[in-house]
Amino acid sequence: GFVEQIHHKHPNREVLFNELEKVIIVKDMSERKQKMEAISDCCVILPGGGGTMDEFFQILTLKELNQLDNKPIVLYNVDGFYNELDATIHSMYDKKFIRPGTINLYEIASTPEEVIQKAEIGIRKNKEAESLMAHPILQEPGISQKVLPVAIERLQDSGFHATDAVLLLRNVLDD
């Protein structure tokens, strides 16, 4: 787990750290988020408070802006905890405050098994998308910098998840 220095000095820190295999002490929430983003393959969002919402929306926004590796985001919807959040995000979409592709950037899972399944599928799609980047046509000067980002953005605006957009482009390139 990632723990801020202030919590590391907590008098009951044994309770906080008892079940963790590894503890990484960070100076603040910003560093915590940066380290989690850097070493994770997937983002699983458990029920939580303001800090959890901050982390979720930062990851969602970075993913929407293509500034974060295309890691799957899975909301673990224990007892319907995230129903209202999902409804709010869809309302933001309906009112045109967010781009169409944004509502496809995260998955919702109601059981631990579903969380694992959705995470594994997302990670596998990401590996397939990464292999696309090695396609010979994308190695030509200027192609990947100009054509691919525009194509992915247009597909995302049409409602495709970025990874699915990349896989669709793979099919086009392989034809």
Q: How far is residue 38's CA from residue 21's CA, in Å, rounded to a whole number?
A: 19
- The residue among 81, 78, 165 whose CA lies nearest residue 125 is 165
What tens digit of pLDDT does each residue of 23-70 get?
777 787 888 888 888 878 889 999 999 989 999 999 999 888 877 777
For residue range 84-143, list pLDDT tens digits in order. 999 999 999 999 998 878 888 899 999 999 999 998 888 877 776 666 666 665 566 655
Chain centroid to CA 62: how far? 8
- Spatial separation of the C-alpha atoms in residues 160 and 168, rounded to whole Å: 10
Q: What is the pTM of this model?
A: 0.68
Q: Which two tokens stand for residue 156?
A: 């995302």
Query: What are the backbone dihedrals phi and psi of residue 17, each rounded to the nearest 5 degrees, phi first?
Result: -105, 0
